Amino acid sequence: MIQSLSVVPGFDLWPGLLDADAQRALVSRVLEADEIAPFAHYGTPQGKAMSVGMTSFGPLGWISDRGGYRYADSHPGTARPWPPMPQALLDLWATLGDPETPPDACLINLYRGDARMGLHQDRDEADPRFPVLSISLGDTAVFRIGGTSRKDPTRSLKLASGDVCRLSGPARLAFHGVDRVIAGSSSLVPGGGRINLTLRRARAG
């Protein structure tokens, strides 16, 4: 296992952890998932459509609408279960996430064009002792990470295809977001853009 860079306490980055074959295999799984559980632009609780397309792998998927942010056991459009979690993601979580308790949700974000994600905390999970693991595929993102208060200073870093990062411990509830994606920086994603996978344990362990 290659060494991580500790960017801020609790935020670790493994640049290029996934090789080209592993990246391509995950993109294929994402394209298959889109057939079963199509990417959707969920509405915020305020009623604004998100610029990032979303779907999920696993027993639970993160969704948003007028009713708020939550985990659901089926796709809101099809009412069918989410596609199963790829084994490669279960394996990665066992190494970098938690060796005993498997992840039960993987949010799949698709950034095309000007899609971005405002600063937010991941706080819809039952137990913040479990980390969030993030995998970047395709175009490079300009990612921003701060502290646990919205007013804390932030720093920005680039996340390239194959990079894996982890929010845990003091950074588990850190504000983070994606300022923009650098179009054309990778040719991995058919049609262009960036895919981000975030593995979570949504229910208590």
User: Where does this chain bind Fe ion (CB under 5 A)?
Assistant: 122
- 59 near 203, Cβ under 8 Å? no
Query: Which amino acid appears at position 74 of this protein?
Result: S
Which of 56, 140, 161, 198 binds ligand SIN (CB under 6 A)? It is 198
Residue 195, helix vs strand vs coil = strand
186 binds ligand SIN (CB under 6 A): no
- Report how far apart, in Å, the C-alpha atoms of 181 and of each of 23, 137, 150 are: 18, 11, 22
Query: Which amino acid appears at position 80 of this protein?
Result: R
Q: How far apart are CA 69 and CA 44, in angstroms?
A: 8
Eight-class DSSP state of 140: P
> Measured from the CB atom, is 83 or 108 closer to ligand SIN?
108
For ligand SIN, how many residues bind (rule: CB under 6 A)? 11
Q: How far is the CB of 175 from ligand SIN (least distance, A)?
A: 10
Convert residues 87-106 into a mask of x (bound to ligand SIN by CB under 6 A) and - (unbound): --------------------
Residue 90 φ/ψ, nearest 5 degrees: -60, -40
> Measured from the CB atom, is 176 or 201 closer to ligand SIN?
176
Which of 13, 117, 171, 199 binds ligand SIN (CB under 6 A)? It is 117
Q: How far apart are CA 44 and CA 62, in angstroms?
A: 12
- 131 near 172, Cβ under 8 Å? yes
200 binds ligand SIN (CB under 6 A): no
141 binds ligand SIN (CB under 6 A): yes
Residue with tokens 């199509």: 38
Which of 89, 133, 196, 199 binds ligand SIN (CB under 6 A)? It is 196
> Measured from the CB atom, is 80 or 150 closer to Fe ion?
150
> Measured from the CB atom, is 90 or 142 closer to ligand SIN?
142
110 binds ligand SIN (CB under 6 A): no
- 57 near 29, Cβ under 8 Å? yes
Residues of this chain that interact with ligand SIN (CB under 6 A) are 107, 109, 117, 134, 141, 143, 159, 176, 178, 196, 198
